[in-house]
Each structure stands twice: as structure tokens, then as C-alpha cells.
Amino acid sequence: MKKIHSQYPLEISCRDFSTVQEIIDRLHKIPRTGWVDHGVKNPETVGEHIDAVVALSEKYFNIAGLNWMLKVHDWPESDPRLGDRRTDRNCPKKSRWSNKKLFREEFRAMRKICLSLKNMIKAKEFFSLWLEFAQNETELAKIANQLDKFQAISQAVKYQKQGWAVDPWKFIDTTGKIITNFILKKELEKIKSELRQNQNAP
């Protein structure tokens, strides 16, 4: 039996183990579209992104429910008909989705996933966590969404250091504005300071 990645929900009944494993496996094979569009070779996958945001959550926060929310927030992208879709203004118009369309399609995909699970109590919990994240209205969801954006900025910095044509400032200018949490804002300022120093270096 395969081992479910340590960053993912562990309280999975034996009846649902294979279903959750399939979701996780698919997510670790789907490249993040934004990095593909930037020409990054062998880019971060959706699964790796989830691992990273959960690791950041464990590093900076100790809030009940936050890790679980992050673990399932991209599950709909495991649907072959959906994948990782972009809605940001830097995305080419021909492939850009509206936020409304993305929510509608991810809602359907997550509902399908949860209906496929045998443990309906856990299924309802997973769906509720995903919906809370997507609606981004509660304090927990706001922190989760800010972690999601902060991780993308951090990854952009890494890719720039590796020599890829990725400009972290574009990410900071477009998504950094939503980062208002004191801890994450402080960490973002550190990133910005480092970027400025590198720009001024001989």
C-alpha cells in the first residue's frame, strides 16, 4: 500500500484511502500553469505547492483548521477537465478565466470529489473547508489565501535566483497587496529588502 504524503490529511478511512491517494498523485503531476507560462523547465507542481503552503503554515502559525484547509484548497485541480487555471491579469487573455467561472467549475469538481468518498462526515468537512477558502470571508480563510499568495512570491524569488525569466516584483505588485497579516507582511518586507539589495549590487 502506498503511503499518503505526510502533508496531506491522515484521518482517512481505509475505504477512501485509494481515492485520496489518486487525488494526491494527480496533483503532484500537474505543473503550476503560471510557471509553465514563464517558461520554467520542470516547474513546481500543484501538489508541491500545497506541500509548501502547509509547511509555511506550520512554520508561522499554529491555528486549528488552517493546515486542513490548505491541504484541500486545490483538490478541484485534480479534475482532468479543470487542472490549474489562471485568473490573474498577467495571464494571456485567451487562456484567462474569470473568477466567477473558476469558482463555478471548482465547486463542481470539489463536489464530485466529495461525493465519491465513502465517509460522508469527512467529505462534508473537506467540502466545507474548501468552500470557506474559496469564499475568503473568514479570518482563517484570509490567512490561508495570504499564505497561498506569499508562497507564490517566495517561489518566484527562487526561480529568479535559478536564472529563469521570472520577475518577483510582478507578483508582489499584483498579489502582495492582499498580504495584510502581520507575520506574513513582515516576511514579505524581508523579501522586498533582499530584492532591492540584489538590484543595487554591482
Q: Assign residue 116 the CATH number of its domain.
A: 1.10.3210.10
Give SS3 for 118. Answer: coil
When divided into structural domains, the chain yields a total of 1
DSSP assignment, residue 165? S
Amino acid 96: pLDDT: 83
Rounded Cα distance between 34 and 48, Å, is 14
More confident residue, 201 or 54: 54
What pLDDT score does 4 carry?
Answer: 45
Q: What is the mean pLDDT of the chain?
A: 90
In a domain, 195, yes or no: yes
> Would residue 3 count as lying in a domain?
no
Across 44-54, average pLDDT:
97
**Does residue 31 sit in helix, strand or coil?**
strand
Report yes or no: 195 and 157 within 8 Å, Cβ to Cβ. Answer: yes
| pLDDT value of position 54 | 96
The domain of 50 spans 14-200
Query: Can you tell me the mean pLDDT for 37-65?
Result: 95
For residue 4, being part of any structural domain is answered with: no
- Is 1 part of any domain? no
**3-class secondary-structure state, position 45:** strand
- pLDDT of 2 higher than 60: no
Residues 137-190: tens digit of each pLDDT: 999 999 999 999 999 999 999 999 999 999 999 999 988 889 999 999 999 999
- HSE at residue 6, side-chain half, CA atoms within 13 A, is 3
Q: Determine, yes or no, domain membership for 134.
A: yes
